[in-house]
Amino acid sequence: MTMNGLLASGVPAKMPSFLLPLRIVIIVLSVVVLALAAFALSVFGSRAGYLGSYSDAPGLLIFVAVKTWLIYGVLLFVEIQMPRSYPRIAAAVAYALSIVFWLSAWAWAASVAALWLSTVCYDGVCVKANSYAAKEGGALAASAGLGAIVWVLSIVNLFFLVRACVSDRPAAHQSELGQVGMGGGYSSVEPSKEAQTLIYATDPAAPAAPYGQPPVEYQQPTAYDQQSVYDPQQPVYGQPQTAYGQQQQPLYGQPQPAYGHQPASY
């Protein structure tokens, strides 16, 4: 297990299959949180006496929900459509930032909800929350609860993503003919000159040389004598050959004169 897997590109081979439905659940819950936060803002707007710094908590919830859609939506699109270009380290950083924002949002919403749902006592007089405060507190409490669930699910998603990345071997996604790189991409390997010479010299599709002519040599051998394969002084096919130091034999059917015998004279 090394950090090279986290710095590489591409969807890890050991990515758990349950992470896809888990991310879909996170997106759906963030939609519900956004709806509850929008309702809380509408309650504040209907009563001028409730306006104040507490209205910032629903705004933060809306911001975090929209940011979650962008982060998870873009990364899911890249993971499905362009798995080889999946940025592992960028995804891990984005998920980590989302976890921090969700923690801040649901914690703030929970504290404000506790304030609006509490009973205030002053000089022995206790005042319970009215209908507007109850609506505001209930909406923020529900947003805080769902936000805490999204926060936990985001931690689980980040943990298994990092675990799959660091335990993934970069060679698992590379082709046998490719070169393994730091970024997990593919790069072609140029064959060596010796391999090219061997391929050219043993090409079965090369045309054969005519009879009696030396073949075309692509590269002169170095380990053996550089001699011609065929004798360039061989006679043409069909021409009679004579042995060295002997006279040419007569054609078939001609009488052969005897050596030292002269014809008789009359």
- 19-46 helix and 56-81 helix, angle to the nearest 10 degrees: 160
Q: Which residues pair with 143 in a beta bridge?
A: none
Give residue-wise pLDDT tens across range 146-179: 999 999 999 999 999 999 888 876 554 444 334 3
The reported pTM is 0.59
Q: How far is CA 264 from the centre of its chain?
A: 105
* C-alpha separations of 114 from 34, 139, 144, 247 in Å: 19, 11, 11, 128
Q: What confidence score (pLDDT) does residue 136 get?
A: 84
Q: What confidence score (pLDDT) does residue 156 get?
A: 96
Give 10-residue mean pLDDT values along the chain (266 residues): 74 88 95 93 63 70 95 92 90 94 94 81 59 83 95 95 82 42 39 47 50 54 49 53 51 54 50
- What are the domain boundaries of the chain? 4-171
Q: What confidence score (pLDDT) does residue 73 get?
A: 93
Residue 99, φ and ψ in degrees, nearest 5 = -65, -40
Q: What confidence score (pLDDT) does residue 13 get?
A: 84
Q: Mapping DSSP to helix (H, G, I), strand (E, B) and coil, where does residue 202 land?
A: coil
